Chains A and B, each alone.
Chain A
Amino acid sequence: MMIPLLAFLAVDFARDIEPLLASRCTGCHGERTQMKGLRLDNRAAAARVLGAADSLLLQKLEDGSMPPVKPKLTAAEVARFREWIEGGAPWPDGTKKPAAAKARHWSFEPVRTATPPVTRNRAWPRNEIDRFILARLEKEAWEPSPEAEKSTLIRRLSLDLTGLPPTAGEVFAFLTDNRGDAYERLVDRLLESPHFGERWARPWLDQARYADSDGYEKDYVRPHAWRWRHWVIGAINDDMPFDRFTVEQIAGDLLPGATVDQRIATGFHRNTLTNREGGVNNEQFRVEQVMDRAATIGSVWLGLTFGCAQCHDHKYDPVSQKDFYQMFAFFNSADELDIDAPLAGEMGPYLAALPEYRKKREALLAGCGVAKHQAPWEARMKEARAQPGKWTDWDHAFDALTKYLDNALTILDTPPAQRTQKQTDAMTDHFVRNYHRVISKDLWKELRFVELRRKLTELRVGFPALSEAPVLVERPVRRPSHVLTRGDWKNPGAAVEPLPPAFLHTVPAGVEPPRLTLARWLVAPENPLTARVAVNRIWQELFGRGLVRTAEDFGAQGEKPSHPELLDWLAARFRDSGWKRKALIKTIVMSATYRQSSAARPEIDARDAGNTLLSHQSRLRLPAETIRDSALAVSELLHTAVGGRSVRPPLPDGVIELAYGTDAGWPESTGRDRYRRGLYIHFQRTVPYPQLMNFDAPDASLAACKRERSTTPLQALNLLNDPVFIEAAQGLAARMLRESPTVEHLFRSCLSRKPTSRESGLAREFLRDQEQRFASEGDAARKLHPVELPGISPEKAAAWTALASAMLNLEEFITRE
């Protein structure tokens, strides 16, 4: 793709040759292995195959015998090697020692404070960003694109900053605002919108693999998962600095005098999957969760494919297996806990009702003689634990206890008198539910525990409760950590301490708990990765791709930044001015680069198809949630409340049954909750909401650092026929007929612009034809638009609904231009 462009540039060792050596050669001819005694990771060792006249390396590359496995180098890459070798194979100093060579990968270098270059065109740049972009374009003798039209700009800004399209009124106000700072005022207004936090929470939720269920076979619902999402939205709306945002999520519980909110922040780590499948080894899956946490730190903050080092040293990056398990050690002593985290207004009614609730509960339990059976059952559980394999039925019952009751062993080990009320209740509830596993069917019937369980649930539902939140807590005594040989939890090797990767900076001094130390290390000013990775992901949201296109991988296998100095300038500015997300976003959207038209540039696109050099903005298909939100917004169905619990909009029949672990079903939300933003849709891992998946939402199994933007016929069917989008079309039609039944108003409301004369001609013709058609199709009109509108014929309402639906299907409607 970039070859035609690169072909104009002289060969550059660091850009053209070193990455190929690293990715295609040094695996066999490098530090660890030297097949045929050859090393290609430093000039001195490689010299014998680099002779300009008789290079063995070139010979092997040209006859295709090296590299021996596919993919072979392309003809263009081989040509680069020839050029390099014929030019004397220059190998810049300092790469002689392999260790140093690796540590010198660009992203491990300190962030430099770059000075924006001087450009020939002085008029175009609005801020520093533009000077970096323009200087690069000028090297190609390319002009930047003109600024987009104002109507495009407000739609772009609204979608990018709040995830919602602007209203026709907002568009009108902006178009008629002739003040010099009208654009900036718009930016400031959107940055302060409470919907800003919702929109910018979404990519963070993707990275955290947020979901409302456990995953795996059982896939239990996580009723409190939303508390962490709520925290993220609030933190982003409050513009919590990214360093604090980081520290609280990684170790908020360990901060001195940690608040409930700071503890809720650690819910970030509770988004790992949980395997409750019967017979699964609990320790194995605990270890897998901790591994996932370690790998996620790598993906989210460091932009490194850290998880690769789980079984062996990283093949391409200097992450050793020991580094991985040192990272693992930071999380190995953190336990999962659901804490009481009452919402405002919950505590009073709860305390007032508590005595009566307890009295009634105890009476129910006593009425069935629960205590009499539970004590010996607990004793047998302990025996089964001590002597596995002795009593099969008790083995199963014990397995169920550890699977279905969180922290079961801690509770079992605590004498009943010392248990908290919550622990006592949890154990009793589990007992009542599971006693049948170890008794005869006759006794089970006799005990009537099934009925008791129902009564207990009814009692609980009828009383005010305290909301809970999933958090991490540190164990009083640390678990020892080891390198796990080949990643096998049963195969511990050398002991390791919690330490960051050896090839990066050392930990800050001080005697804080290790996990808190890790958090501070991540946001230490000398960390070369955190700020770069963070600004790149923000850039990616605003341009469709990062300055480093592989936003998930800043290692040797990732792509190099298209504008390295700009990336560093942004990173340094972000870090040095208080890690303020809103300020960074404002700087970017204020730039002339951002404001460019997204129209294609055929003369340039042929040479820069990916628009790497940003000669124009990009047209981007909207994310799944934004497509839903836009349709609900223009039809004025959207329930705009910010934050809160997940909702379950109607789901087509037969969807929830496709997975095994979904006994809870899909209790549909009622009232306005059906129309909440896509971000709040309950995410059941084994049966995600179809519209989200149709439009490339990630599956919440791994940190997702960017989304695909595919185009499929299922998307078309989704927008054409899904009752959600038909209801939106009905709402939009009714709104148009009420406000102003013109094609112009419809275009302005949906696309923030007026139609061209051809477009209005097509739309009006459609309206006319469909109105006639509906007049001849009996009750079809009433079916498509069942609500009667005063003074409007059913045929007209139906024709408008069909037109409104077509609008919601336009590529432009689901695209940010």
Chain B
Amino acid sequence: MLHDLPRRHFFRSLGGMLGGVALAELSDPLAARKPHFAPTAKNVIFFFQEGGPSHIDLYDPKPTLRKWHGQPLPASMTKDLNFVFVKPDAKVLGSERVFQPHGQSGTEFSDYLPRIGANADSICLVRSMHTEAFNHHPGQSLLFTGATQFGRPTAGAWVSYGLGTESREMPAFVVLSSGKGTSGGSMNWASGFLPSSYAGTVFRSSGEPILYLPNPPGISTGTQRARLDLIRRLNEERQYETGDTATASRIHSYELAFRMQAAAPKFLDFSRESAKTLEDYGVNREPTRPYAVNCLLARRMVERGVRFVMLAHASWDDHQELNRKLKKNCEVTDGPIGALIHDLKERGLLDSTLLVWAGEFGRTPMGQLERVDEDPGRDHHPNCFSIWAAGGGIRGGQVIGKTDELGLRVTDHPVHIHDLQATMLHCLGLDHTRLTHRHMGRDFRLTDVGGKVVRQMLA
């Protein structure tokens, strides 16, 4: 007890000394932080299309494939390429999809993506993506953490770490899941070696929106508030004894938890959305309902300052029955995404929200036939694939990069996963070489040792 007096005295003066902002940062790892330079986007909505959607059938028309249909490609064309199931001499599968130019820019999109296509003038389509990984989990790991080895922080976690959040009622990084579950599971939104404060919080559209969110049976809001007040006051009592400044951070986390309890269900309360909005997203009908709900939730979260929203939809891994399965996934996702872009635009939010649509790789021009009595699909293809971005800081109405006439390789303006990551961070005002964290004796970053901002993508 000898130390009591000076300690208490000091603790008070420390609070005064550091001032409000510093103290807030001390107690709240998610306090909003300034970017490295002026950003063009404040928030991100990432449409993660898990499994490797076929670029050839969605974004990158290859009429030449029809000519090759049913024949193997010459060995000279496929040498040095890695395939998973198909052999290099597998037969080419021409695309049955019809591509049409959209908007003033005339960017071509597949007939399965009419609603996304309708936003062509907002979209920057990159047809020259490439990656190293041709299996799902490593591919997803590279897409989100910048490395095929597991254990590193994901993009959403890096962004939360770099910028914190402006939301006072939600964590910085929220994950909305639909479909059958992703190969990478929770590793796709993990914080890796960063503290778990930066990990993605899964927000569910049915049941409890967030794990352990509702009060236990019998605890009313009044009891909950009283319980929290007691916890806070007892924590403060103890802090007075120990002088431990970390206790403030624990107290803060309980206040945020309480606000989340109140706020999270409100995100799901669509009663004040107009009938037109609900109709446009497809919230009240199948098969769009689950994805539409997530798209609408994404907008509502971005409106309230959530920094990074990831919509994970599985799976686009169409090894068989390509056309039937693609059609199904497109019917589920195309309308809601189109509606979301339109809605963001109308509300003036598109300019400050970066949208990214991507899977972990593309699919082969060759068909894959596992069984003779099935319709063919396509195999994994890391050598080229398509993604798109729109919104905050992105110049829409353009196509970047080219692939060869078979959709096998990039021929013009290759964009690596690390380049995409660097560009995303750039839009948020973050220099990807400066957003680092020291671990195991070296500074790690999202873009590992690579990455160049793709200037052409920027407005």
Q: Are A and B genuine complex partners?
A: yes
A interface with B by C-beta (< 8 Å): 69-71, 145-146, 215-217, 219, 273, 275, 277-280, 305, 308, 315-316, 388-389, 392-393, 395-396, 399, 437, 440-441, 550, 552-553, 555-558, 597-603, 619, 652-655, 657-662, 685-688, 690, 693-696, 699, 701-702, 708-718, 720-723, 726, 756, 758-759, 762-763, 766, 769-770, 773-774, 777, 779-785, 798, 802-803, 805-806, 809-812, 817
Which of A217, A600, A798 meets B242, CB within 8 Å? A600
Given contacts A70-B433, A717-B257, A721-B212, contact A217 B183 (CB under 8 A): yes
List 22 interface pairs A-B (beta carbons < 8 Å), by A numbering.
A217-B135, A278-B85, A305-B441, A553-B441, A602-B11, A654-B206, A657-B180, A659-B183, A659-B186, A711-B253, A712-B29, A713-B256, A714-B211, A714-B257, A716-B256, A716-B257, A720-B215, A720-B257, A721-B213, A762-B234, A784-B219, A802-B227
Residues of B within 8 A of A686 (CB): 183-187
B164 CB to nearest chain A CB (Å): 13
Interface membership of chain B positions 216-232, coded 1 if the CB is closer than 8 angstroms to chain A and 0 otherwise: 11111011101110110
Complex interface: stretch among B2-10, B100-108, B270-278, B348-356? B2-10
Residue pair A717, B250 in contact (C-beta under 8 Å): no
Residue pair B237, A694 in contact (C-beta under 8 Å): no
Residue pair B243, A600 in contact (C-beta under 8 Å): yes
B131 CB to nearest chain A CB (Å): 16
Residues of A within 8 A of B370 (CB): 392-393, 396, 437
Q: Which 5 A-B pairs have the closest CB atoms?
A: A784-B218, A686-B185, A659-B185, A602-B10, A279-B84
Residue pair A146, B185 in contact (C-beta under 8 Å): no
Nearest CB to that of A285 among chain B residues? B135
A551 CB to nearest chain B CB (Å): 10
Interface membership of chain B positions 376-404, coded 1 if the CB is closer than 8 angstroms to chain A and 0 otherwise: 00011000000000000000000000000
Nearest CB to that of B7 among chain A residues? A602
Residue B287 lies at the interface, judged by CB distance under 8 Å to chain A: no
A287 CB to nearest chain B CB (Å): 14
Residue B288 lies at the interface, judged by CB distance under 8 Å to chain A: no
Residue pair A699, B190 in contact (C-beta under 8 Å): yes
Complex interface: stretch among B197-205, B325-333, B413-421? B197-205
Assembly CA distance A210 to B186 (angstroms): 17
Assembly CA distance A392 to B88 (angstroms): 12
Assembly CA distance A315 to B443 (angstroms): 13
Tell which of B150, B194, B380 has the most Cβ of chain A within 10 Å.
Answer: B150
Residues of A within 8 A of B235 (CB): 810-812
Residues of A within 8 A of B83 (CB): 279
Residue B286 lies at the interface, judged by CB distance under 8 Å to chain A: no
Nearest CB to that of A280 among chain B residues? B135
Residue pair B136, A277 in contact (C-beta under 8 Å): yes
**Residue tally, chain B, CB below 8 Å to A:** 103
Residues of A within 8 A of B238 (CB): 810-812
Residue pair B253, A716 in contact (C-beta under 8 Å): yes
Which of A552, A600, A652 meets B440, CB within 8 Å? A552
Residue pair B440, A389 in contact (C-beta under 8 Å): no
Residue B269 lies at the interface, judged by CB distance under 8 Å to chain A: no
Given contacts A716-B253, A718-B212, A769-B226, contact A558 B314 (CB under 8 A): no
B318 CB to nearest chain A CB (Å): 13
Sample of 16 further A-B pairs with CB below 8 A, known A805-B227, A810-B238: A389-B87, A553-B441, A557-B441, A598-B242, A601-B3, A601-B7, A602-B11, A659-B183, A660-B180, A661-B185, A693-B186, A708-B196, A711-B250, A720-B224, A773-B226, A802-B227
Residue pair B223, A217 in contact (C-beta under 8 Å): no
Residues of B within 8 A of A661 (CB): 183, 185
Residue B137 lies at the interface, judged by CB distance under 8 Å to chain A: yes
Assembly CA distance A538 to B247 (angstroms): 26
Residue pair B186, A784 in contact (C-beta under 8 Å): no
Which of B3, B135, B251 meets A599, CB within 8 Å? B3
A507 CB to nearest chain B CB (Å): 26
Residue B110 lies at the interface, judged by CB distance under 8 Å to chain A: no
Given contacts A219-B185, A766-B230, A802-B227, contact A702 B211 (CB under 8 A): no
Residues of B within 8 A of A758 (CB): 237
Residue pair B253, A619 in contact (C-beta under 8 Å): no
Which of A552, A599, A756, A802 meets B243, CB within 8 Å? A599
Assembly CA distance A597 to B85 (angstroms): 63
Residue pair A806, B372 in contact (C-beta under 8 Å): no
Residue pair B187, A699 in contact (C-beta under 8 Å): yes
Tell which of B2, B3, B7, B84 has the most Cβ of chain A within 10 Å.
Answer: B3
Nearest CB to that of B254 among chain A residues? A716
Residues of B within 8 A of A785 (CB): 218
Residue pair B196, A693 in contact (C-beta under 8 Å): yes
Which of A393, A654, A687, A802 meets B372, CB within 8 Å? A393
Residues of B within 8 A of A685 (CB): 185
Number of A-B contacts (CB under 8 A): 292
Residue B67 lies at the interface, judged by CB distance under 8 Å to chain A: no
Residues of A within 8 A of B212 (CB): 652, 690, 714, 717-718, 720-722
Interface membership of chain B positions 417-439, coded 1 if the CB is closer than 8 angstroms to chain A and 0 otherwise: 00000000000000001101000
Which of A437, A657, A711, A806 meets B29, CB within 8 Å? A711
B206 CB to nearest chain A CB (Å): 8
Residues of A within 8 A of B185 (CB): 219, 658-662, 685-687
Residue B249 lies at the interface, judged by CB distance under 8 Å to chain A: yes
Residue pair A619, B440 in contact (C-beta under 8 Å): no
Assembly CA distance A305 to B171 (angstroms): 33
Assembly CA distance A782 to B219 (angstroms): 11
Residue pair A782, B218 in contact (C-beta under 8 Å): yes
Residue pair B244, A600 in contact (C-beta under 8 Å): yes
Residues of B within 8 A of A219 (CB): 185
A56 CB to nearest chain B CB (Å): 26
Residue B284 lies at the interface, judged by CB distance under 8 Å to chain A: no
B239 CB to nearest chain A CB (Å): 8
Residues of B within 8 A of A392 (CB): 86-87, 90, 369-370
Assembly CA distance A480 to B261 (angstroms): 59
Given contacts A806-B234, A812-B238, contact A280 B207 (CB under 8 A): no
Residue pair B186, A806 in contact (C-beta under 8 Å): no
Residues of B within 8 A of A713 (CB): 171, 253-254, 256-257, 260
Residue pair A215, B150 in contact (C-beta under 8 Å): yes
Residues of A within 8 A of B220 (CB): 773, 777, 780
Interface membership of chain B positions 168-192, coded 1 if the CB is closer than 8 angstroms to chain A and 0 otherwise: 0001000001001111111100101
Residue pair A717, B211 in contact (C-beta under 8 Å): yes
Residues of B within 8 A of A708 (CB): 193-196
Residue B373 lies at the interface, judged by CB distance under 8 Å to chain A: yes
Assembly CA distance A352 to B293 (angstroms): 59
Assembly CA distance A215 to B210 (angstroms): 25
Which of A437, A762, A770, A817 meets B223, CB within 8 Å? A770
Residue pair A770, B226 in contact (C-beta under 8 Å): yes
Residues of B within 8 A of A712 (CB): 29, 171, 195-197, 253
Nearest CB to that of A278 among chain B residues? B85
Residue B459 lies at the interface, judged by CB distance under 8 Å to chain A: no
Which of B193, B227, B237 meets A720, CB within 8 Å? B227
Residue pair A553, B440 in contact (C-beta under 8 Å): yes
Residues of B within 8 A of A601 (CB): 3, 7
Residue pair B230, A277 in contact (C-beta under 8 Å): no
Given contacts A770-B223, A777-B220, contact A654 B196 (CB under 8 A): no
Residue pair A702, B149 in contact (C-beta under 8 Å): yes
Assembly CA distance A708 to B29 (angstroms): 13
Residues of A within 8 A of B233 (CB): 762
Residue B245 lies at the interface, judged by CB distance under 8 Å to chain A: yes
A471 CB to nearest chain B CB (Å): 24
Residue B412 lies at the interface, judged by CB distance under 8 Å to chain A: no
Residue B347 lies at the interface, judged by CB distance under 8 Å to chain A: no
Interface membership of chain B positions 75-109, coded 1 if the CB is closer than 8 angstroms to chain A and 0 otherwise: 00000000111110110000000000000000000
Residue B315 lies at the interface, judged by CB distance under 8 Å to chain A: yes
Residues of A within 8 A of B250 (CB): 711, 811
Tell which of A553, A654, A658, A699 has the most Cβ of chain B within 10 Å.
Answer: A658
Residue pair B186, A602 in contact (C-beta under 8 Å): no
Nearest CB to that of A709 among chain B residues? B195
